[in-house]
Structure 1
Amino acid sequence: MSPESDSPALKRAVELSGDAGAVEGPLHGYHHETYVVPLPGVAGEAGQVRWKCREPRPGLLWFDRRCFASEEQLLRALEGRIEGIPGLIPELTETVHPGLQRFIEGSTLGALHGSGTEIPHVFFEQIVSLFEQLARVKADSLTVDRTCTPEDRPAEGDTAGFLERLVLFTERDVYQRNMRDFAGLFHDLGLDDTSFGKLREHVSGLTGRPFCLLHADLHRENFVVDEEKRLWTIDWELAMFGDPLYDLATHLYLMRYPADQERWMAKQWCEAVERVAPGSSAGWETDLPKLLAFKRAQSVFTDVIRTALSIEGAEGTPGRSVLAAAGDGLRKVLGAATEPLGIAEPTAEGVTAALGGWREERAKRP
């Protein structure tokens, strides 16, 4: 790692630490380039702590609706609101270096228990408790700058309006905004403007539920386990106020629990949110499948773009192998969303051919 790098995040990390050799990173992450640094003269209760120094990745495509203007501002507002084992929000150092978050020493839950595997009861209980704490936080009780306009916020309890805004974001900001570069690929995969009409019909008729704060990205890599087996919840950038059942649906979709543990999480979630916000689980048995269907459909549009970009420069014999693997992966994503999007069951050959055609067409552009 060299301080002469053109990376703004790395340059800032080296400047803050005063020692390029003490900088660790970049850490794995999609939205930011992140480095971990010790700060001279800044320590915690247990002695020297390290801090996260990060910058948004340049030219990044955002595929998720954002609600709050600043993750750091949200975390400051949540201090004392989400507490205990599951709500151990990393402290922010304001007096010396504003905006830095404490780096949690430990391993991600995903590193310890990979996707599709059961997670131990000690962590399962902490996640349930986190959902209970989130259900207590209401929009009128939290003073944080928000990026969405009042006109773009659904009325309290309007779960159908909340989901419509998520569908509309995917339609406008992911699908339509990227049509110039991916129109042909979308078409070859059977995706067009009618896909969203079919999706809206499939997820209609949601039951009303009281809104609360949602993390909206609770997966195994966003939980960090420390040496005392405590879970720390990180990466709150996609947090929003809305339908609590959407947070559960997103969590189940991303966590890939074994079937028995997924059913147990749904049951425990219902009991937890009802304790603090009665009505939060109303209609869950009917609505959870609809919200999971939306998550599968939403993933199609983001994964089409990301997959295409991942094979853009792959050429020759290795390129064919990369293309085949990408096609198979994208086929599975499309196959999981055939019902909500009303598309035909894809084949690996068809998806691979569509990706190959897009890559060839892309290569011809100046």
Structure 2
Amino acid sequence: MPPLPHGARLSLAHRLLESRLLRGKGEVLKGHHNTNYVLRVGLLLALVIGVVPFTRFKYRVPLKSVEVVPRIWPREADVLEVVCRYLREVPRCLAVLGELGDRSLHRYRRGRALSEWNPDGAIDEKLMREFASFFVRTAKVPVEELPPPPEDWPDDGDSDGFLHWLVDFTEHRVHQPNRDRFGDLFDAVGIPQDAMTSFKERHHGLTSRPFKLLHTDVHRANVLVRRGRISVIDWELAIYGDPLHDLATHVVRMGYGRPELDRMVDLWAAAMAKADCAELTEGLREDLNTYLDFEYAQSVFPDVMRAALDLPAEADEESFRAAGERVNRTMTRASEPLQLRTVPDMEQIVEALRKWHSLSVPTVVS
């Protein structure tokens, strides 16, 4: 029998995987952006995709969600093709599947997610040095090998333009499209309607730094640890831009305390200098605070939406209080970056959530 054409093999692989999911096979790992199914390759599937039978792999299926983060490259597989040439510990993509090319098959990386064994505790210096090394190696990925950025992308080194692109994305792709559904809730919990436009007006004059590959989502659930070494997974939100943005998203989403944050920044800067990337640290102290402020400011929109959408249909008092605490936390840390005079108290926030919940049907937000 002649070998199947490439397209036919991918179609067969897709049908085999979907059949296994219908039978309830595989471990299910659900995140904000994808549902991941961990399965073992059977004989037929191994033959179709050309891998060793009975090895484990991960099948990624995107969730239908509201857009809250930029994705400048449509296919994670295109980014991984480059990344895996330089960061060998990152699991590579084996195949892109589905009629829309939105499902993908990845090698399975052994290790425990940091979120499983240390969901919110302190991070020791050895692990911080691993993170610093990761950021250096990511910055060393040749940008000329990456897929091209969008046509409106700022020029290399235009750090102001990069920050303002992110601010504009938050305003025009996150805030405004969701005002019909969440506008009253945004207003009630204290988010100014001009939050992003005012932020943009106040922040400019960043130091020019060369643009590099950025992961932008290095948090505990995306970090696998094995024998003291890390592997950072889930590259669908990778972008090309100012490396200080990657550092800022990392220290915020890891939940570092102030001493840990300061130490991580010191280790990052030292690692960059040692790797002959000192130009990436220019203006570090001043500009990192700007990126931290942006991370706190933009997060009010996804955090408030997620708190509301995560409420069960029959939400009880405990559910509303927990959601209120999430909203209060995100509004409190954004109060200075957004120059808020006051933040509504817990009772006002809970009442706003009750009102929104009584009028809404929850869906999923990414």
TM class by shorter-chain length? 0.7 to 0.9
Pair 1:108–1:282, CA change in 2 (3 A): same
TM-score (normalizing by structure 1): 0.84
Q: Which structure 2 residue ranges, 5 or more long, are not aligned?
A: 1-12, 362-366
Match of 2:325 in 1: 328
CA 1:143–1:207 in structure 2 vs 1: closer, same or farther (change >3 Å)? closer
Taking the aligned partners of 2:208 and 2:312, their CA distance within structure 1 comes to: 44
CA deviations 1:318-362 (Å, max 9, x no partner) are: x22211221122111101101121222231111112112222343
Task: Please say if 1:136 is aligned against 2:140.
Answer: yes
Q: Percent identity?
A: 32
Please tell me the residue identity of whatever aligns with 1:331: N
C-alpha contact (below 8 Å) 1:335/1:346 kept by paired residues: no
> Is the 1:185–1:355 Cα contact (8 Å) retained in structure 2?
yes
Instruction: Tell me the secondary structure at the aligned position of residue 58 of structure 2.
Output: strand
Counterpart-to-counterpart distance in 2, 1:28 and 1:96: 19
The answer to which of 112-121 and 243-252 deviates more is 112-121
Structure-2 residue corresponding to 1:362:
360
Pairwise mapping of residues 90-239 of structure 1 onto structure 2 (< 5 A)?
90-94=91-95, 99-119=104-124, 121=126, 123-139=127-143, 141-144=144-147, 146=148, 149-150=150-151, 152-226=152-226, 228-239=227-238
* Aligned counterparts of 1:96 and 1:235: Cα–Cα separation in 2: 17
2:241 pairs with 1:242: yes
Give the deviation of 1:162 after TM superposition: 0.4
Name the SS for the 1:339 alignment partner. Answer: coil
Q: Give the deviation of 1:94 after TM superposition.
A: 4.9
CA 1:208 to 1:96, structure 2 compared with 1: closer, same or farther past 3 Å? closer
Question: Which whole-Å CA distance do the structure 2 matches of 1:213 and 1:295 have between them?
Answer: 18
Per the alignment, residue 90 of structure 2 pairs with: 89
Match of 2:270 in 1: 271
Shift of 1:39: 1.1
Of residues 311, 315, 339, the one that matches 1:342 is 339
Q: Matched residues in 2 for 1:349 and 1:162: separation?
A: 38
Q: Shift of the alpha carbon at 1:64?
A: 0.4
* Structure 1 stretch displaced more, 89-98 or 168-177: 89-98
What is residue 40 of structure 2 aligned with on the other side? 38
Q: CA RMSD in A?
A: 2.8
2:56 pairs with 1:50 = yes
Q: CA deviation at 1:96?
A: 11
* Contact 2:248–2:291 (Cα < 8 Å) also in 1: yes
Give the Cα–Cα distance (whole angstroms) in 2 for the partners of residues 119 and 213 of structure 1: 26
- How many residues align structurally? 339
Cα distance between partner residues in 2 of 1:143 and 1:285 = 29
Aligned match of 1:78 = 83
| Conserved 8 A contact 2:120-2:255 | yes
Letter in 2 for 1:52: K
The runs of 5 or more residues in structure 1 that have no matched partner are 1-8
Moved more, 280-289 or 110-119: 110-119
Question: Structure 1 residues 281 and 62 mapped into 2: Cα distance closer, same or farther (>3 Å)?
Answer: same
- Cα deviation for residue 11 of structure 1 reads 7.3
- Give, as a single letter, the amino acid of the residue that structure 2 aligns with 1:163: L
Question: CA–CA distance in 2 between the matches of 1:167 and 1:38?
Answer: 42
Residue in 2 aligned with 1:6?
A: none
